């Protein structure tokens, strides 16, 4: 799966080595300064375009490359193609603008194997605000792919990770569910880091006559969610659209929550329709998986299948608890196929998952329950 990267152990006394690639001198300085304030990082170099970056990678041996998309001579997408051929294990974080061109290029980069992305702050008005935005977004997105000395890993797999921590305790058994479960009437999916690739596996695997509506929260900013919906629609047998206020929730259609809006549901006159709002972020997210899952429970009760796919953090855990208590089925992606096992891992460790499946098996598990 493109973008799948085992968490890498950073040995005591070492730091995460970063190569900053951007044609803007200002951005290179901002990123360097923001990362240098965190003792976990060492910025080992910078480059103004992809060609220079490719020449410096073997010299500097970075753990991470932050890669601008739009650059002269060799842009970020072409650079990424070369990196994935020559350095398949190198972590790459794309830098994108909040524009249509930036959104489409970012999705292309994720499909080509970029591990994650951050959006460039625009018109923020001050250096301090720009720095704060970089620290809050870029640093966690890099750290999720590494195991730092003395810190609990967000995702740890492989021999290095196993030797770096005690053997994990057995996973808790699923909590008892109601003896009689309702037939599912809706599928609700929550996903974050690695989501576009994960959804591109799950959604196209659903048949054209899929009998339930599908509701999706993918942590992405505005514009990005619309282009994600269009990309999925082009390769899927069910309809896939970005949700709009008042849109009908119906069988055989997948609705993706728009960036910066929570997606909720409301039933009226026998129909279920979408309600969008810009209420406070939950788990630092808007849209939030928890918000959607709670609303699904209010409208459908336990007649639902909740699916938690790859992602950083724990968004979706509380909502899954609410759904499971009402009798909903819960499917979680397994650790081996997750880019980051934060969200599904939290659900599994809480004993909420009825099924723990590889990404390739998620659609099959959904169909079994349907």
Q: Which of the residues are catalytic?
A: 192, 219, 315
Distance (Å, whole) CA 307 – CA 330: 6
> Structure tokens of 188?
């609700």
CB 67 within 8 A of CB 93: yes
Please name the residue that has the structure tokens 């061109």.
Answer: 101
CA 157 vs. chain centroid, Å, equals 18
> Structure tokens of 92?
């790459």
Distance (Å, whole) CA 258 – CA 280: 15
Q: Shortest CA distance to 255 belongs to which of 216, 202, 294, 289? A: 216
Separation in Å, CA 363 to CA 52, 174, 183, 218, 359: 42, 21, 17, 17, 8
Distance (Å, whole) CA 251 – CA 244: 16
CB 71 within 8 A of CB 24: no
Q: How many residues does the chain have?
A: 370
Q: Which residues contact 57 (CB under 8 A, 6 or more apart)?
A: 19, 65, 83, 86, 87, 90
Q: What φ, ψ does residue 310 adopt, rounded to 5°? A: -45, 140
Residue 138 host element (H or E): helix 127-143
- Cα pseudo-dihedral 175, 180, 186, 189, rounded to 10: 10
Distance (Å, whole) CA 110 – CA 193: 10
- Antiparallel, parallel or unpaired: β 64-68 and 16-21: parallel
- In DSSP notation, 158-192 reads HHHHHHTSPPPPPPPPPPP--SS-PPP--EEEEE-
DSSP 8-class letter at 287: S
């Amino acid at each position: 799966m493109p973008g799948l990267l085992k968490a890498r152990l950073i040995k005591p006394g070492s730091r995460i080595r970063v190569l900053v690639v951007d044609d803007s001198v200002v951005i290179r300085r901002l990123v360097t300064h923001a990362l240098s304030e965190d003792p976990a990082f060492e910025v080992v170099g910078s480059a103004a375009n992809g060609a220079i970056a490719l020449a410096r990678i073997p010299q500097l041996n970075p753990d991470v490359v932050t890669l601008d998309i739009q650059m002269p001579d060799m842009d970020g997408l072409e650079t990424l193609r070369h990196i994935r051929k020559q350095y398949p294990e190198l972590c790459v974080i794309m830098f994108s603008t909040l524009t249509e061109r930036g959104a489409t290029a970012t999705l292309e980069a994720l499909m080509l194997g970029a591990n994650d992305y951050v959006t460039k702050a625009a018109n923020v008005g001050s250096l301090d605000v720009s720095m704060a935005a970089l620290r809050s977004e870029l640093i966690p997105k890099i750290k999720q792919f590494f195991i730092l000395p003395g810190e609990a890993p967000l995702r740890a797999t492989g021999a290095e990770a196993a030797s770096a921590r005690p053997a994990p305790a057995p996973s808790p058994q699923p909590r008892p569910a109601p003896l009689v479960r309702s037939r599912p009437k809706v599928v609700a999916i929550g996903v974050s880091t690695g989501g576009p690739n994960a959804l591109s596996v799950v959604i196209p695997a659903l048949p054209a006559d899929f009998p339930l509506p599908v509701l999706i929260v993918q942590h992405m900013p505005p514009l990005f969610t619309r282009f994600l919906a269009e990309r999925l629609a082009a390769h899927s047998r069910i309809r896939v659209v970005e949700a709009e206020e008042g849109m009908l929730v119906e069988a055989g259609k997948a609705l993706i929550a728009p960036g910066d809006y929570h997606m909720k549901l409301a039933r009226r006159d026998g129909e279920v329709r979408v309600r969008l709002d810009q209420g406070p972020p939950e788990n630092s997210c808007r849209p939030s998986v928890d918000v959607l899952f709670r609303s699904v429970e209010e409208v459908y009760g336990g007649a639902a299948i909740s699916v938690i796919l790859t992602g950083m953090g724990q968004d979706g855990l509380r909502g899954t608890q609410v759904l499971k208590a009402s009798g909903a089925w819960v499917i979680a992606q397994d650790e081996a196929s997750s880019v980051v096992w934060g969200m599904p891992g939290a659900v599994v460790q809480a004993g909420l998952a009825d099924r723990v499946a590889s990404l390739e098996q998620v659609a099959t598990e959904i169909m079994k329950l349907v």
